[in-house]
Amino acid sequence: MFRLPVCPHCKTVYSYKEVKENNKKKVIKCYHCKKEFRNGRSGIILLAVIVCFVAAMINVFLLNTTSDNFISIIPISVISIIAVLIGMLLIPFFIRYKK
Ligand SMILES: [Zn+2]
């Protein structure tokens, strides 16, 4: 799962930056073999589920380990925002290129 996508025709590996740029396009042309392929975004749903699950787990853990009502909405919001940002950084690792 944790690897960058490759060209489905010639198996050229795309760099993190290239994948981010390719995300804007629907049809991508391989710079190596010049053949076209599509962006497979189905892995992003899986990534979103993982990020939501991890963020929820951290929040539940914090709520359970704090005896007083010290935990407020602010740290929970901060954790959720950090989780979303990390998730966005991981998007290129969950993209798969399809013919
Ligand atoms: Zn190619």
Nearest C-alpha neighbor of 31 from the set 15, 53, 42: 15
Q: How far is the CA of 21 from the centre of ligand 1 (A)?
A: 16
CA of 38 to the centre of ligand 1 (A): 12
Instruction: Pull the structure tokens for residue 2.
Output: 């944790």
For residue 26, report the distance from its CA to the centre of ligand 1, in Å. 16
Sorting pLDDT into bands at 50, 70 and 90, what band is 61?
A: confident
3-state secondary structure of 87: helix
Angle at 55 between CA 59 and CA 21, to 5 degrees: 155
CA of 35 to the centre of ligand 1 (A): 6
Q: What is the mean pLDDT of residues 85-93?
A: 94
- 48 C-alpha to ligand 1 centroid (Å): 28
Q: How far is the CA of 45 from the centre of ligand 1 (A)?
A: 26
Determine contact, residues 33/9, Cβ cutoff 8 Å: yes
> pLDDT over 90 for what percent of the chain?
70
pLDDT at res. 75: 78
Residues 6+ apart with CB under 8 A from 25: 39
Q: Is the pTM of this model over 0.85?
A: no
Report CA(36)–ligand 1 centroid distance (Å).
8
Parallel, antiparallel or unpaired: strands 36-40 and 27-29: antiparallel
